[in-house]
A and B are shown apart, each in its own frame.
Chain A
Amino acid sequence: MKKLALALAATVVMTAPAMAADVEAGKAKSVMCAACHGANGVSAIPMYPNLAGQKEAYIAKQLKDFKSGTRKDPVMGSMAMPLTDADVANLAAYYASLK
């Protein structure tokens, strides 16, 4: 019984991140990104990357790296700082979903 509960818990934990990605929530959160990365994820400023259609896992990793300081950038470091893991997943799902 204990084993079953553990397995169940593990399953929930493992599938939770995949289920957590909410494109609509990501879109709502993306307002602050739009100034540099464009309203539709296509940047009008050559120094800033397009995000539309970028790989979800890549975007999520970069946001986490900006937040942790593994990838250093004065602008993105402070932008990513307040993001929760759910925000990161939602934003990544939203930008990956754009064409």
Chain B
Amino acid sequence: MFKYLIILFLFLFSATISAENSLVQSSESVAIDSSIALAEDEINFDQAAELAKQQRLKTQVEFCAPCHGKNGLSSLPIYPNLAGQHQQYLLKQLLAYKYRRRKDAVMSPMVSRLNEDELVELAHYYASLSSDISQVEINGEFNESSEASENTNEN
């Protein structure tokens, strides 16, 4: 009887130790897994934020395009070309519209709903476009080469 008790005790004891070991191992692996997952999350978060920013910029540019052209070259005589303009100048004007230092019935409402970071992005975008005037419209219509350049600008 006593023998059985010892065997049972030993059995329980070893079972507890092995259970503890496996518990420690599994918690370690969980910790490693979660740190990897965290790093991946950070990368994904950065990528997602960048994508969201690009998407937002694209949407905003669509609002500008009817007057300032898809590629920043305006097809209407009273609206300025923006392509290749200095970023600093563009930003200064956008901020002036936002805070009504430069008054314009069209531009102020367009710009005032955007925050300053978005205006920086917009100024950067238009400054980065080519101002090559050989690609501008002929008789108010975009020619094929300017259509092609618009596509590359979008990409």
Nearest-Cβ distance from residue B92 to partner chain A, whole angstroms:
7
* Residues 66-89 (chain A) with a chain B CB within 8 angstroms: 70-72
* Contacting pair A48 B89 (CB below 8 A): yes
Inside 8 A of A49's CB, which chain B residues have their CB? 85-86, 89
Contact A54 B89 (CB under 8 A): no
Determine if B86 and A48 form an interchain contact, defined as CB atoms under 8 angstroms apart.
yes
* Chain B count of residues within 8 A CB distance of the other chain: 21
A55 x B89 contact (CB < 8 A): no
Residues 88-144 of B contacting A (Cβ, < 8 Å):
88-89, 92, 101-103, 131, 133-134, 136
**A58 and B89 contacting across the interface, CB-CB below 8 Å:** no
Complex CA–CA separation, A58 to B92 (angstroms): 18
Q: In the complex, which residues of chain B have a beta carbon less than 8 angstroms from the beta carbon of A57? A: 77-78
Main secondary structure of the interface of A (DSSP, over half): loop
Q: Given A70-B103, A72-B101: A50 and B131 within 8 A (CB)?
A: yes
Residues of B within 8 A of A (CB): 74, 76-81, 84-89, 92, 101-103, 131, 133-134, 136
A interface residues (Cβ-Cβ under 8 A, vs B): 43, 46-50, 53-58, 61, 70-72, 99
8 A-B pairs with least C-beta separation: A46-B88, A57-B77, A53-B133, A46-B86, A49-B89, A58-B80, A57-B78, A55-B77
- Return 17 A-B CB contacts under 8 Å, by A number: A46-B86, A46-B87, A46-B89, A47-B86, A49-B85, A50-B86, A50-B131, A53-B81, A53-B131, A55-B74, A55-B76, A58-B77, A58-B79, A71-B103, A72-B102, A99-B133, A99-B134
